[in-house]
Amino acid sequence: MGMGGMSTRKDSPAAVEANGVSKIFGDGSDKVVALDDVSVTIKQNEFFTLLGPSGCGKTTLLRLIAGFDHPNNGNILLEGDDISGLPPYQRQVNTVFQNYALFPHMTVAGNIAFGLEMLDKPRNEIDATVANMLKLVRMEELRDRQTSQISGGQQQRVALARALAPHPKVLLLDEPLSALDLKLRKEMQIELKRLQNETGITFIFVTHDQEEALTMSDRIAVMSNGNILQIGSPREIYDHPAERFVANFIGETNFLTADLVLAKNKAGKIKLSSGKTIAATLPDNHAANGKVTAVVRPEHARIVKPGTSAALEGRLDNIVYFGTDTHYHVKLGAEGDFIVRMQNSRDDAGKFAAGSKVGIAIDSNAAQVLRD
């Protein structure tokens, strides 16, 4: 797991720290454990993403941090202070809601000023901050518009500006881009990153879109069923998934059964069904040997001629051309399909024919052993 020692630095406390947080809805037969003993530390100035399928508890965790709900167990610290008992209006945390929740009876500027007015800031300071925010989200011309008279993307910007204006310690964003079309979504992804850089505010961002998570985040927490399965940088999560669920949820991947023959800290050697032995990365505290499942990303393998450099051999079933790259589906006998994705170059055409016997070479250190 990617939780380094940085987060425990004493001089600057973590932006948010959740300790053993549980949230249970309902009781008896319709009891739902939305969060099951979740602990996570989010560093200052971090773009932290909660990623997981629908119903895994992402919104619930955000609502607990914002104070809209209260945990059944555990506590939540904001910059080192326990805020578990505080109502939402006493927490220096702001939220960008999925449906924006802009006040329909106020103008764009009125919405942005709202938080500052509630904090009883002096008028001139409010005006200056609102002007700043309008500039930050590039909405100066629309300051006096009613919020019902602006587009979805513009509403999104106003929601962002409104939440950023009081300069919260942490900004919570619950799938803020899911209502936008693809093009606008890409634009707003870049915009969000820029805003985070310029304001230096910690962002906790919720999405169930793995690509969005990989491109935007400093670190990602992958959630499933009320648990955080793995926390790490996009690279760590993608290249070294620790659990079957993570490997499956993020990107495409190949699963191989193998024997762990050597384990030394995180480095190991595994013997594949073909009899070949390759190097593999192990999850933390993995048992020394036995049957394991390893994963290899399709782009971390190459199709080669059968022979010494091939870790696996099989029959080339299907070749799917995608323009920039080609997917090769190789039948590995008992283990099923193995997919290889290779960049296309000019002289590739017809090198391997469907139906022929081929070998699969695996890049060094591309194999990752799962914890299960």
Ligand X SMILES: Nc1ncnc2c1ncn2[C@@H]1O[C@H](COP(=O)(O)OP(=O)(O)OP(=O)(O)O)[C@@H](O)[C@H]1O
Closer residue to ligand X (CB): 23 or 286: 23
DSSP string, 212-249: HHHHH-SEEEEEETTEEEEEE-HHHHHHS--SHHHHHH
Closer residue to Mg ion (CB): 229 or 330: 229
Report the residue from 55, 74, 88, 306 that binds ligand X according to the rule CB under 6 A: 55
Report the residue from 59, 94, 230, 368 that binds Mg ion according to the rule CB under 5 A: 59
For the sheet with 357-362, list strands across it: 301-304, 357-362, 312-321, 325-331, 337-343
Q: Least distance in Å: CB of 113 to another protein? A: 10
Token reading at 238? 């993608």
* DSSP code for 90: G
- Which residue, among 195, 194, 193, 203, has the nearest Cα to 168 in the 3D structure? 203
Q: Least distance in Å: CB of 163 to another protein? A: 8
Report the residue from 41, 59, 253, 274 that binds ligand X according to the rule CB under 6 A: 59
Instruction: Specify whether the CB–CB gap between 282 and 274 falls below 8 A.
Output: no
Nearest residue relative to Mg ion (C-beta): 59
Closer residue to another protein (CB): 94 or 196: 94
Residue count, binding to another protein (CB under 8 A): 24
Q: How many residues does the chain have?
A: 372
Q: Where are the alpha helices (DSSP H) in 165-223?
A: 182-199, 210-216
For residue 68, the partner it binds in ligand X, another protein, Mg ion, none, with Cβ less than 5 to 8 A by kind, is another protein
Q: How far apart are CA 29 and CA 267, in angstroms?
A: 45
Closer residue to another protein (CB): 67 or 176: 67
Q: How far apart are CA 72 and CA 321, in angstroms?
A: 52
Task: Kindly state the helix (H) or strand (E) to which residue 41 belongs, with its residue range.
Answer: strand 32-42
Q: Least distance in Å: CB of 213 to another protein? A: 24
38 binds another protein (CB under 8 A): no
Q: What is the number of alpha carbons within 13 Å of residue 221 lying toward its C-beta?
A: 27
Stretch that binds ligand X, among 51-59, 126-134, 238-246, 257-265 (CB under 6 A): 51-59
Query: Binding to another protein (CB under 8 A): which residues in 284-313?
Result: none
Q: How far apart are CA 368 and CA 270, in angstroms?
A: 10
For residue 54, the partner it binds in Mg ion, ligand X, another protein, none, with Cβ less than 5 to 8 A by kind, is ligand X
Q: Least distance in Å: CB of 359 to Mg ion? A: 45
64 binds another protein (CB under 8 A): no
Q: Least distance in Å: CB of 147 to another protein? A: 11
Closer residue to ligand X (CB): 155 or 207: 207
56 binds ligand X (CB under 6 A): yes
240 binds another protein (CB under 8 A): no
Q: How far apart are CA 240 and CA 73, in angstroms?
A: 31
Q: Please count the other Cβ atoms lying within 10 Å of the Cβ belonging to residue 46.
A: 20
Q: Least distance in Å: CB of 87 to another protein? A: 7
Q: Which residues pair with 314 in a beta bridge?
A: 358
Query: Binding to ligand X (CB under 6 A): which residues in 138-167?
Result: none
Query: Binding to another protein (CB under 8 A): which residues in 139-198?
Result: 162-163, 166
Q: How far apart are CA 338 and CA 120, in angstroms?
A: 62
For the sheet with 47-51, list strands across it: 93-96, 170-174, 202-207, 47-51, 219-224, 227-232
Closer residue to another protein (CB): 92 or 233: 92
For residue 60, the partner it binds in Mg ion, ligand X, another protein, none, with Cβ less than 5 to 8 A by kind, is ligand X
How do 277-281 and 367-369 pair as beta strands? parallel
Instruction: Specify whether the CB–CB gap between 52 and 174 falls below 8 A.
Output: no
- Look-up of token digits 């009125």: 110
58 binds ligand X (CB under 6 A): yes
Query: Binding to ligand X (CB under 6 A): which residues in 205-224?
Result: 208
Q: How far apart are CA 359 and CA 307, in angstroms?
A: 7
Which residues in this chain contact another protein in the complex, by CB under 8 A? Answer: 66-68, 87-90, 93-95, 97, 99, 101-105, 114-115, 118-119, 162-163, 166
Which residues in this chain contact ligand X in the complex, by CB under 6 A? Answer: 25-26, 32, 34, 52, 54-60, 208
Which residues in this chain contact Mg ion in the complex, by CB under 5 A? Answer: 59
